[in-house]
């Protein structure tokens, strides 16, 4: 797991745990399988960006509040 601090967690309908971190960007882990954390690319963001918060809407879309917008 990258980053200094976990800022937020969000579980989606497909069993993927999304992890927002301070300095580690957005990461994910598929639950029910081997424990493997994967860094996720953000449009216009960086892999070391501060991610403040995560939210899923009624359509299952993930909204990410990051340092860059």
Query: pLDDT tens per residue, the chain (69 residues)?
Result: 888 899 999 999 889 999 999 988 999 999 998 889 999 988 877 778 889 999 999 998 999 998 766
* C-alpha separations of 12 from 19, 41, 59, 68 in Å: 11, 17, 11, 23
Distance of CA 3 to the CA centre of its chain: 11
pTM: 0.87
Q: How far apart are CA 49 and CA 59, in angstroms?
A: 26
């Amino acid at each position: 797991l990258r980053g200094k601090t976990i800022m937020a967690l969000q579980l989606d309908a497909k069993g993927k745990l999304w992890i927002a971190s301070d300095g580690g960007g957005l990461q994910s882990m598929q639950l029910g399988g081997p424990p493997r954390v994967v860094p996720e690319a953000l449009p216009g963001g960086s892999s070391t960006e501060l991610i403040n918060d995560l939210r899923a809407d009624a359509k299952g879309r993930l909204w990410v509040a990051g340092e860059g917008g």
